[in-house]
A = this chain, B = another copy of it.
Amino acid sequence: MAAAAEQGVAEAVRKEGEGEEQVVNPWEVSAGKGGVDYDKLVDQFGCQRIDAALVDRVARLTDRPPHCFLRRGLFFAHRDLNDILDLYEKGEKFYLYTGRGPSSEALHLGHLVPFMFTKYLQEAFKVPLVIQLTDDEKFLWKNLTIEETKRLARENAKDIIACGFDVERTFIFSDFSFVGGTFYENMLRVAKCVTLNKAVGIFGFSPEDHIGKYSFPPVQAVPSFPSSFPHLFAGNDQLRCLIPCAIDQDPYFRMTRDVAPRIGYQKPSLIESRFFPALQGENTKMSASDANSAIYVTDSAKEIKTKVNKYAFSGGQDSIELHRKLGANIDVDVPIKYLNFFLEDDDELEHIKKEYKEGRMLTGEVKQRLISVLSEMVARHQRARAQVTEEMVDAFMAVRPLPNMFG
């Protein structure tokens, strides 16, 4: 199954017995009423589940508690993470690669998830990190000018920097600024190994799609290869790469892993997250185009309060009487899901879930707690972002050696 998936199965995952199609690819996440079936996705994509033993191993090797995204199963799947940990255990290093497509000015909380997690990985393992801003992808897919995508890349870089990355270990680049040299060479090495038929199978492109779309997957693939960054990894072409990302990006890296050994490179490892749910519920990924579907990092405390109270889907009962009697359905409750991501205190989270499920805590009270968690988190982000100067962006994006890469 894994091998078959690596060969590039189509993304349409039919949910057996329901006749509903679950489509998960970098441009579309649509599932049936029950939300994305992650178990099925893991099987179909051919990746591996993250179990408690693996979480323990990460904690032991890094000598710190696992990030709550990891211990709560929000990063739930991987590819060859054990290989990376084996190497690390022997004293060898690796590097991290993540990214973002800069299609909008304001990031929502879902956008922050991979960066928060990547920051934890960078600190825990003390490894270098490259962050790709795919302004070229957004030009190709959206009705945006190149100038606008470049501007958005730079604005998004500020939000990313505000997550607290270490400038001595982090290289942020935009494709429009960086494509060329060995990066371009690697793009063509990858492209030469992927037939049109295969690209269609993996990404679902149509004959009416423009050739820019068909050209793009190698661009997202090649930061997996250290030789794409000669200013960082010269002479270190076999350095392993670990990619934290949401699972919708898996098709890119399934292609990358298929190609890597054929061009003399190491397969990147992956650690993959669930989708951060929209305020309206779990059945789709959040949409940057619907302002009421998400909390943005630019939202005021008042906006957060209004959105949570008005739009966050509740698993509570219709009346207080009924709620006290039946309790909440916390499996569909969005405030609980959001707290699961962002309320760091495990004991408090368990307490809230228990009280809410058993009807002793009301939706309003849970939402109140969520509003305070999100307001504090967003305000902290806004304070950090206000400190990010143009000079700092230049520093992160400078093509330079990283002075403290494996320090």
Interface residues of A, Cβ cutoff 8 Å to B: 136, 139-140, 146, 176, 178-181, 184-185, 188-189, 191-197, 199-200, 205-212, 214-215, 217-218
A/B interface sample: 5 pairs, CB < 8 A: A176-B185, A180-B180, A180-B181, A191-B210, A199-B211
A140 lies within 8 A of B185 (CB) = no
CB–CB B196/A208 < 8 A: yes
- Each complex incorporates copies of this chain amounting to 2
Q: Smallest distance from the beta carbon of A256 to chain B beta carbons, Å?
A: 13
Chain B residues contacting A215 (CB-CB under 8 Å) are 191, 211, 214-215
How many angstroms from the CA of A185 to the CA of B174 in the assembled complex?
12
* Cβ–Cβ contact A196 & B209, under 8 A: yes
Q: Report the bound CA distance from A285 to B65 in whole Å.
A: 69
Residues of B within 8 A of A214 (CB): 196, 211, 214-215
Q: How far does the alpha carbon of A146 sit from the alpha carbon of B212 in the complex, in Å?
A: 23
Assess the A211–B207 pair: CB atoms within 8 A: no
Chain B residues with Cβ under 8 A from A208's Cβ?
A: 195-197
A17 to chain B, nearest CB (A): 34
Q: How far is the CB of A225 from chain B (nearest CB, A)?
A: 13
Say yes or no: B212 contacts A192, CB within 8 Å: yes
Q: Which residues of B contact A205 (CB under 8 A)?
A: 196
On whether the beta carbons of A139 and B188 are closer than 8 Å, the reply is yes
Q: How near does chain B come to A137, taking the closest CB pair, in angstroms?
A: 10
Q: How far is the CA of A188 from the CA of B142 in the complex (A)?
A: 13
Are the CB atoms of B210 and A194 closer together than 8 Å? yes
Give the interface centre of A184, A212, A214 by most chain B CB atoms within 10 Å. A212
Residue of B nearest to A186 (CB): B146
Query: In the complex, which of the residues B136, B188, B209, B211 contacts A136, with contact meaning CB atoms closer than 8 Å?
Result: B188
Shortest Cβ gap from A90 to chain B (Å): 32
Q: Is the CB of B196 within 8 A of A140?
A: no
Most buried by B among A191, A194, A206, A217: A191
A13–B67 Cα distance when bound, in Å, is 64
A207 contact set on B, CB distance < 8 A: 195-197, 200
In Å, the complex CA distance between A178 and B196 comes to 26
Nearest 5 A/B pairs, CB to CB: A180-B180, A191-B212, A215-B215, A197-B207, A192-B212
Q: How far is the CA of A200 from the CA of B210 in the complex (A)?
A: 11
Q: Is the CB of A210 within 8 A of B192?
A: yes
Residue of B nearest to A217 (CB): B211
> How far is it, in angstroms, between the C-alpha of A245 and the C-alpha of B3 when the chains are bound?
47
Contacts of A209 in B (CB 8 A): 195-196
Residue of B nearest to A180 (CB): B180
Do A146 and B211 touch across chains, with their CB atoms under 8 A apart? no
Question: Least Cβ distance of A203 to chain B in Å?
Answer: 10
* Seed contacts A200-B207, A211-B217; 4 additional CB < 8 Å A-B pairs: A139-B188, A191-B212, A196-B205, A214-B214
